[in-house]
Amino acid sequence: MLTYKLVSGIVKIGLDLNLRVLVEGIETAEQFYAFKNNGCIEFQGYLWGVPMPLNDFIKQLPTFNK
């Protein structure tokens, strides 16, 4: 709970300063919704995909909207 409060406070400061806040390292839907409910709109992490070579990423692009 302390970690959540700390991170939420940091996010709030960034948003209050009109900074672009990109949340990295999202691994669970719970983490995603916690940040989304705090006003974040940009995310990345294993929840959506693992790191991969560029060629593999390009091959998978057509399937991302499915």
What is the per-residue pLDDT across 3-61, written as a single tens digit (0 to 9) for each?
888 988 999 999 999 999 999 999 999 999 999 999 999 999 999 888 999 999 999 88
Full-model pTM: 0.73
Nearest of 29, 31, 38 to residue 11 by alpha carbon: 38
- In the numeric block, the tokens 């060629």 are attached to 55
Give me the phi and psi of 43, to 5 degrees please: -140, 155
Distances (CA, A) of 6 to 13, 16, 42, 60: 11, 15, 19, 36
Structural domains in the chain (count): 1
Structural domain boundaries, residue 40: 5-63
Is the CB of residue 46 less than 8 Å from the CB of residue 52? no
pLDDT score at 7: 87
